[in-house]
Amino acid sequence: MAFLINLGLQPFIDDEGNRTTVALEMLWSSNFITPTLHGEYYYNKPPLWNWILALSIWLHGSASEWATRLPAVLALFGFSATVFHYCRKHLSQERALLVAFMLLSCGRIIFWESLLGLIDLAFSWVIFTMIMVLYHESKEERWGRMFLFSYLLMAIGFLFKGLPAIAFQGLSVLLILYYRKAWKQLFSIAHIGSGLLAVAIIASYYVVYNKYHSLETVFQVLFVESGKRTAVAYGWWDTIKHALNFPLELSYHFLPWSALLLLLLRPSSRKRLHESDFVRFCRYAFFVNIIIYWLSPNFYPRYILMLVPLGFIQLVSLIPEEAKPTKDWLYWTIRGILGLFMFVLAAGALAPIFVEDCQFIPGLLWKAGISFALLLSLFILYLKQPKWQYFLVVAGFILFRVGFDLLAIPPRDHDSSAQRLRDSSIEFAKHWQDRDDLYVFYETHMEPATSYYIQGTLDRPVQRKESAFTTTDYYIYNPKQYDWGLFEAPVDSFIVRHAGYPVYYVGKLKDTDIETIKEMTIGERPSF
């Protein structure tokens, strides 16, 4: 319930707008093979997440923030259940449950990813399952099953996000064959056959796609999308700076649990990392797969969520079987850090009372008061029950998320820049509800969240025009990209966020000659 309260309240970020608009255009056109955005072919991602969003929109009867975000939350629940399922084969039930709850309650998940309708949670669930299949099937020397199931999961992952799924599969297969000293399996019929089956599954989609549109641009964009965040695109100096900062960045995003890294200072704890074959493999899988992102300057933590449980397995393994509240400075340091988090959560529950933007919330005082009382009770219990300290921290973060849902999310929908952008786009679309002569001009970059709110309100796509211009149609244009002299006086406008100019305008063209249009371009098309 903590992950569902007010889930659909705050406006979309641009990535959510992208995914939802593509899904909407699939539903409008009844074409689920070739994704489009403003009627143009959309190449950046394969279609599986768009299909899931389209299904969710269809089941809900309309497109909305809730319909887009619910599949991501359900994927998170499935991901956590899968983590528990595999961990309890090797860890105690209590520790397996702790790993799953650590995933749910780490900062990056509970205050960011679980609030958004993005691909990454579902993709991470698939890739984590693939890594677990490689370990467990190879342990029993069921090589045929290992290759078959892992390559099927890789194919699913590819249809979610493209080439990263192949990278994860390739690195993990090489790791498991090295780990099991079974290199001969690399050339086995089972491996080759499973690989070919995965290629056939992926190729079957693109064979059908090719009947609608050429494949040349599709694969070119997929390779560009996969390479644009690496050292190739950013240079060595940026890569070195990112590599040095990367461990600190990860530690920050996955607090409070990254505090358990301090246990590595205790030699007896480090020894525990080598006692379990499963823990050892998870450590290798973590480092083998994370190296790509460690060397990729344009990195977002959501790209490695599939590896986070592998890291948490290491941290849980460091925890001694019995807490010893004696003169152990390391024990008390970690307990103090986690206790500080608990205290901050309790104090933070009262913060909305003093924030001006929250004053409109009905029952603000009693909601904040109850949240504070419950979190303070958990903090007191934490001080008195060291045996359950980690689960009490989990409970504290999940309870704080409920208060966050009730007291922090509503202001984002009440009087925020995102809300004003949404309102501006919706109001603009209402002006054009009964018109069919509105287009996106040439290469004007449409911000994805804005596109969603305009097209969702119109319940139809606003096509992009790159040729066959007229002086009677109306065009949405970015004044940062195109000279004002191309257009008659603007007749309408709406607010935008990133395009280098706060407003987009609508107007008629004075001249439709394509060479004149190119000459009067005053800026490059934004890329983000």
pLDDT in tens, 421-476: 899 999 999 999 989 999 999 888 888 899 999 999 999 999 999 888 999 999 99
432 and 364 in one domain?
no
Confidence check: pLDDT of 373 > 60: yes
| Residue 465 near residue 440 (C-beta atoms within 8 A) | yes
453 and 406 in one domain?
no
DSSP 446: P
Range of weakest confidence among 32-46, 84-98, 130-144: 32-46
pLDDT computed for residue 320 by the predictor: 84
Does 437 map to a domain? yes
Identify the CA nearest to 35 among candidates 193, 270, 213: 213
Confidence check: pLDDT of 526 > 50: no
Q: Angle, nearest 10°, between helix axes 277-294 and 163-179?
A: 140
* Residue of 215 and 83 predicted with greater confidence: 83
Identify the CA nearest to 461 among candidates 12, 159, 30, 146: 30
| Element spanning 332, H or E | helix 329-348
Mark which of 189, 220, 251 sits at the end of a domain: 220
**What SS3 state is found at 474?**
strand
What's the mean pLDDT when you consider all of the chain? 89
* Residue of 389 and 295 predicted with greater confidence: 389
421 and 410 in one domain?
no
Place of tokens 């008659």: 488
Reported as a single tens digit per residue, the pLDDT across 100-127 is: 999 999 999 999 999 999 999 999 999 9
Across 440-475, b (16+ Cβ under 10 Å) vs e yields bbbbbbbbbbbbbbbbbbbeebbebbeeebeeebbb
Distance CA 282, CA 87 (A): 11
pLDDT computed for residue 179 by the predictor: 95
Mark which of 384, 414, 444 sits at the end of a domain: 414
Average pLDDT over residues 418-422: 86
Cα–Cα distances (Å) from 326 to 154, 341, 379, 382, 384, in that order, read: 48, 22, 20, 17, 15
Does 276 map to a domain? no
DSSP 444: P
pLDDT computed for residue 295 by the predictor: 83
Does 113 map to a domain? no
Across 137-166, b (16+ Cβ under 10 Å) vs e yields bbbeeebbbbbbbbbbbbbbbbbbbbebbb
Question: Who contacts 516 (Cβ-Cβ below 8 Å, separation ≥6)?
Answer: 486
Encoded amino acid at 36, one letter = T
Does 431 map to a domain? yes
pLDDT computed for residue 81 by the predictor: 97
pLDDT computed for residue 325 by the predictor: 54
Tokens of 468: 């066959």
Indicate the pLDDT class of residue 484, thresholds 50, 70 and 90: confident
198 and 153 in one domain?
yes
430 and 387 in one domain?
no
Does 267 map to a domain? no
144 and 59 in one domain?
no
| Residue 13 near residue 116 (C-beta atoms within 8 A) | yes
Indicate the pLDDT class of residue 331, thresholds 50, 70 and 90: confident
Name, of 232-246, 319-333, 366-380, the range with top average pLDDT: 366-380
Reported as a single tens digit per residue, the pLDDT across 250-260 is: 899 999 999 99
The 3-class SS string of 419-436 reads: HHHHHHHHHHHHHCCCCC
* Burial class for 526, CB neighbours closer than 10 Å (0-12, 13-18, 19+): middle
Reported as a single tens digit per residue, the pLDDT across 375-415 is: 999 999 999 988 899 999 999 999 999 999 998 888 877 66
Long-range contacts of 204-213 (CB under 8 A, 24+ apart): 205/33, 205/46, 205/47, 205/159, 208/33, 209/33, 209/34, 212/31, 212/33, 212/34, 213/34, 213/41
478 and 426 in one domain?
yes
Neighbours of 498 (CB within 10 A): 12
The model carries a pTM of 0.92
Reported as a single tens digit per residue, the pLDDT across 167-211 is: 999 999 999 999 999 999 999 999 999 999 999 999 999 999 988
Share of the chain above pLDDT 70, in %: 94
Average pLDDT over residues 213-232: 67
Confidence check: pLDDT of 89 > 50: yes
409 and 460 in one domain?
no
Distance CA 449, CA 444 (A): 15
The 3-class SS string of 306-326 reads: HHHHHHHHHHHHHCCCCCCCC
Mark which of 373, 399, 414 sits at the end of a domain: 414
Average pLDDT over residues 303-319: 95
401 and 367 in one domain?
yes
Question: Who contacts 298 (Cβ-Cβ below 8 Å, separation ≥6)?
Answer: 228, 229, 233, 234
Cα–Cα distances (Å) from 192 to 135, 139, 198, 366, 393, in that order, read: 19, 20, 10, 63, 47
Does 14 map to a domain? no
423 and 390 in one domain?
no
pLDDT computed for residue 410 by the predictor: 87
Any idea what the Cα angle at residue 120 is, between residues 232 and 61, rounded to 5°?
135
pLDDT computed for residue 528 by the predictor: 30
Q: Does residue 141 come out as left (phi exceeding 0), alpha (psi in the -120 to 50 range) or beta?
A: left
- For every residue of 357-384, DSSP letters joined together read GGTTSTTHHHHHHHHHHHHHHHHHHHHH
Distance CA 249, CA 242 (A): 9
Domains contained in the chain, number: 4
Does 264 map to a domain? no
Identify the CA nearest to 130 among candidates 119, 109, 146: 146
Tokens of 105: 């309650």
Place of tokens 């933590």: 301
Does 129 map to a domain? yes
460 and 446 in one domain?
yes
Identify the CA nearest to 508 among candidates 435, 429, 441: 441
Tokens of 41: 């072919």
Place of tokens 């190729």: 203
Residue-number span of the structural domain to which 501 is assigned? 417-519
pLDDT computed for residue 346 by the predictor: 93
According to DSSP, the β-strands at 36-37 and 503-507 are unpaired
Cα dihedral value 335, 337, 342, 343, nearest 10:
110
